[in-house]
Structure 1
């Protein structure tokens, strides 16, 4: 009987120890690359992956409204210095890029034309 009580106490101690509020911090390889023209520190993170002739791009920008309409904003997408698209979602794909080295620049802009000063530029190689 004392052994059962001891095991029951040990069970509750282990159970209470497992119920903490410490949550793991998500790990990511997205560098915080920001060029803020306004001098205000802003967070704009970009992760990309080349898959054949396509590039998957995922963006994280705190408090930026990726949407159409007067209160929204979009990403101006540049390929080798030329604007190729306006994207209204945080994740998108560039498809069918030609073989070779390319520079992709992403700029966050509000739909009313206001510049955020947040941009990210990276190079890729398409086989």
Structure 2
């Protein structure tokens, strides 16, 4: 086989192998990379005894099931819930000062390292 034909053949083989090598494995690995350099932006607002929270994490998959992730919500160092949406409400906090900590975690248990903590004062 001449060199040009061999190079064409090698190129075709590589085109066939690239999706097999980089397909699902690459997608799976990309799902567990920290989003936007590990940045988690949070906005919150106190309304009575409730705290309205909105989270922004680029390309983090807020959803149940495989390939998804959730937020572990802690109030005063106690885990109170897991949330699968970027916006949610922490309801019924008693009067006083509270520390809320949010931690983004993949559903398969892998930790993202993205956390955010803030204080609220409930009247």
Match of 2:103 in 1: 107
TM-score (norm 1): 0.68
Match of 1:64 in 2: 60
**Structure 1 unmatched runs, 5+:** 1-37
- C-alpha displacement at 1:41, in angstroms? 2.7
How many residue pairs are counted as aligned between the two chains? 89
Match of 1:20 in 2: none
Q: Does 1:94 align with 2:68?
A: no
Give a deviation string over 1:87-123, Cα, whole Å, max 9, x none. Answer: 0000000111100000000000000000000000000
- C-alpha displacement at 1:43, in angstroms? 1.9
Where do 4+ consecutive residues of structure 1 move more than 3 Å?
none
Match of 1:117 in 2: 113
Give a deviation string over 1:60-112, Cα, whole Å, max 9, x none. Answer: 00010000001100000000000000000000001111000000000000000
Cα RMSD for the two superposed structures:
1.3
**Structure 2 unmatched runs, 5+:** 1-33
